[in-house]
Structure 1
Amino acid sequence: MQMKLLPSPEQAAALEATLRACNRVAAHVSRTAFETGVTDRNGLQKLVYADIKATFGLSAQPAVRVVKKVVDAYGALAASLKAGRLGAPGARRYRKAIGSPVTFRPDAAQPFDDRCLSWQMDARTVSIWTVDGRMRGIRYTGSPDQLKTLAEYRKGESDLVQRDGKWFLIATCDIPDPEVYEPADWIGVDRGIVNLATTSDGTNHQGRRLNRYRRWQARKRAELQARQSRSATRRLARRAKKEHRHATHVNHRISKEIVSVAQRTGRGIAVEQLDGIRDRVRLRRDQRGTLSTWPFHQLGQHLAYKARRAGVPFVEVDPAYTSQRCPRCGHTERANRPERHRFSCRRCGLAGPADHVAGVNVRNRARSAWVFVTAPVPAPA
């Protein structure tokens, strides 16, 4: 849960000094971990704990949190290397990642546990450890739903974040999942490039406005890249963040609407399992940028967690031939889709929008998959 802090100028200065001090220590601990090869928490803490307190003057608990932050960073790096997200072992990105210590920005987020940070829910203030001492009475704000969730379910550590001159606390909330109901039917969701999401009900979540926005962003990006200046690079970074926020907002809005319809009608949500879509599909040259710049997987993640929070059944089904299979007669053939937007069965003549037909096929597969998942397990003989 992201809560916005409203510090005074003096409080903001103390928070900024705290972030910079903690990240200086994190950089030192990271160098030690890289040079010694010790990346487990207990071993690394034994190596650096006394030095952190003596040289950098951090209190005991903040020093422990900094060590844990470094250990988590090396754990994330190891997971990325193992998953191949940085290329093969001989790749340039792979060699660069393992050839130097993990670095931390001066304003990188810093975790705080309940010994370093306390919440006063009634007063809507926090008390937090800083390098200038305990800072009390820092106000925070949020929507009514956020404040209610924070008060009821906050648990564990919180991260102090500075973003564009604003301060936030990212609080961990442990929210229990409601019981999933038995669905009366399913809403099949087909995700695509031209139409972000098309449901089996025929609802198409796309529009000319969004297409124009994406094309405009691509033109501006190309213009800035052609300049090859430092200011253009900085503007590109700001524009990338803005475009990412816009994409996240659109995915949130689409997923919220689909989950709301499913909950209101007592149905479940079914999507295609799109793992590795960028490796499977072959696109025209003008479509490659669209595929690379839109977070399709994020839409599925939003659907999954919003459905879980609402108690709506959610399943992923096999995506094979959903756009080529006729939902009425079952005939599957590439020629059933003569054009990108149109489906026309060569056997029975069923015709309609291709994405809508794919959504219906996803819905039909969810019906079979749910029966299999919920079937009782036979008792052993």
Structure 2
Amino acid sequence: MKKTVQLKLTPTGEQRTALLRTLAGCNEAANFASERMRTERIASKFSLHRAVYADLKARGLAAQAAVRVIGKVADAYTTQRGAIKTGALKGKRKAKALAKPISFRPDAAQAFDDRNLSWNHGAQTISIWTTAGRIQGLPYVGSAEAAALVSEFRRGETDLIERGGKLYLMVTVDVPDQEPAIPDGFLGVDLGIVNIATTSDGANWSGGAVTLRRKKNAALRAKLQAKGTKSAKRLLKKRSGKEARFVRDINHQISKKITTEAKRTGRGIAIEDLKGIRERARLRKSQNTALHSWAFAQLGGFLAYKAAAAGVALTAVDPACTSQLCPACGTIGRQNRPNRDLFQCASCGHTGPADVIAAGNMATRAHHNFGAAINQPDAA
């Protein structure tokens, strides 16, 4: 299972300047190579290498840095062609994209590999090439978990990025999945807007704080967009990144706690099939923004990789009618939900928190599906 681990660099002022100039120099070279690739109709990475490698070296890039810049440019055009082929890029957006070469910001990420970036995991330092010479003993910081993952499972390239005035390494690690244990039942997880996630055990992560922050951010975005100055646009960009990190952190916390509880109790995790969640949900107009901006897929992805790493079985179940199904008598109907928060069976009177009931029904459904899969005879 591949994932990306973030480490923060703590350079001196002189080292920071060298790293930022390296990013700018590599991306300036990437723009040069992009222009050549477009104007000369170069179709492959190999042909681009032959065309621009010597020029990139003359611009002050070391051999391996030049190779990585060429790879970045070629990959960008491959991605663009793929988007056009699949229809993801079409119409006016396609015309606009093809009207000029692909460009790279001065602070865009730059890939490094073992030839121009080496590690001292014990001291938590790196040695990295820059256009001003190699920097030795550059410290990095990160959580104990992140440092351990990088030390043991680092694979492939590492990206240097600048974000919010700080420098980070985005490290690719490949963690072997544990063989999932046969679950003793399932922990159901119901997703929503009022409550981001609710488990069949009754654990709940409210979306109240998230909604409040989103409303404040939306009001600030509207104000800055109306202002339209350069400083307003810079602040908009900064706020956008901050909100994305806020959402990511919450999704990490939720997925970690759910996975930890499932592993502790020997259960699997049953999560609703996220396909079509935006079409299925019936919300008030005021909730539409939250629905369409919350990273449901990200939360599902975090649950998937954390479960795989912990050896916890995870299954996606059809969530149809789980919020209207009585777990006691099996009656299904909208009348069982007198309001958003309460489940009260119109037939047998069984009551409980609506989200917990839905999560419990998903757990039951996953258990039945799992049992049916185990008992199904092998095909002849």
TM (norm. structure 2) is 0.90
Q: Partners in 2 of 1:346 and 1:97 — Cα distance?
A: 57
Give the length in aligned residue pairs.
376
2:68 matches 1:59: no
Which letter does structure 2 place at the counterpart of 1:327?
P
Q: Partners in 1 of 2:327 and 2:245 — Cα distance?
A: 37
Which letter does structure 1 place at the counterpart of 2:141?
T
CA RMSD across the alignment: 2.3
Change (3 A) 1:357 1:232: same
Which letter does structure 1 place at the counterpart of 2:68?
R
Give a deviation string over 1:77-113, Cα, whole Å, max 9, x none: 3444455544xx32x3333233332221101111011
Per-residue deviation, 1:36: 4.0
Change (3 A) 1:25 1:264: same
Q: CA contact under 8 A between 1:327 and 1:361: conserved in structure 2?
A: yes
2:6 matches 1:2: yes
Which letter does structure 1 place at the counterpart of 2:33?
V
Change (3 A) 1:12 1:230: closer
Q: Report the equivalent of 1:30.
A: 34
Per-residue deviation, 1:13: 1.9
Which letter does structure 2 place at the counterpart of 1:58?
L
Aligned pairs for 1:1-381 (under 5 A) are: 1-54=5-58, 56-82=59-85, 84-86=87-89, 89-90=90-91, 92-206=92-206, 208-375=208-375, 378=378, 380=380
Q: Partners in 2 of 1:272 and 1:109 — Cα distance?
A: 35
Q: CA contact under 8 A between 2:111 and 2:158: conserved in structure 1?
A: yes
Q: Partners in 2 of 1:39 and 1:360 — Cα distance?
A: 54
Q: CA contact under 8 A between 1:271 and 1:362: conserved in structure 2?
A: yes
Q: Partners in 2 of 1:80 and 1:264 — Cα distance?
A: 43
Per-residue deviation, 1:376: 6.4
Q: Partners in 1 of 2:87 and 2:288 — Cα distance?
A: 22
Q: CA contact under 8 A between 1:274 and 1:319: conserved in structure 2?
A: no
Change (3 A) 1:24 1:372: farther
Q: Partners in 2 of 1:292 and 1:151 — Cα distance?
A: 38
Which letter does structure 2 place at the counterpart of 1:366?
A
Q: Unaligned 5+ residue runs, structure 1?
A: none
Give a deviation string over 1:172-217, Cα, whole Å, max 9, x none: 2222112211111101101111110111112221054444333333
Per-residue deviation, 1:305: 1.2
Give a deviation string over 1:59-83, Cα, whole Å, max 9, x none: 2211111111112222333444455
Change (3 A) 1:79 1:331: farther
Secondary structure class of the residue paired with 1:326:
coil
Change (3 A) 1:234 1:16: closer
Which stretch of the first structure deviates more once superposed, 4-13 or 14-23?
Answer: 4-13
Q: Unaligned 5+ residue runs, structure 2?
A: none
Change (3 A) 1:253 1:83: farther
Q: Partners in 2 of 1:98 and 1:329 — Cα distance?
A: 60
Q: CA contact under 8 A between 1:2 and 1:171: conserved in structure 2?
A: yes
Q: Partners in 2 of 1:80 and 1:375 — Cα distance?
A: 43
Which stretch of the first structure deviates more once superposed, 368-377 or 177-186?
Answer: 368-377
Change (3 A) 1:131 1:201: same
Give a deviation string over 1:294-318, Cα, whole Å, max 9, x none: 2122111111111111111111111
Q: CA contact under 8 A between 2:194 and 2:207: conserved in structure 1?
A: no
| Identity of matched residues, % | 48
Q: Partners in 2 of 1:346 and 1:35 — Cα distance?
A: 70
Secondary structure class of the residue paired with 1:162:
strand
TM (norm. structure 1) is 0.90
Q: Partners in 2 of 1:309 and 1:281 — Cα distance?
A: 31
Give a deviation string over 1:208-265, Cα, whole Å, max 9, x none: 4444333333333333334343333322222222222211111111111111111111
Per-residue deviation, 1:327: 2.7
Give a deviation string over 1:23-68, Cα, whole Å, max 9, x none: 01111222223334434322322332233234x2322211111111
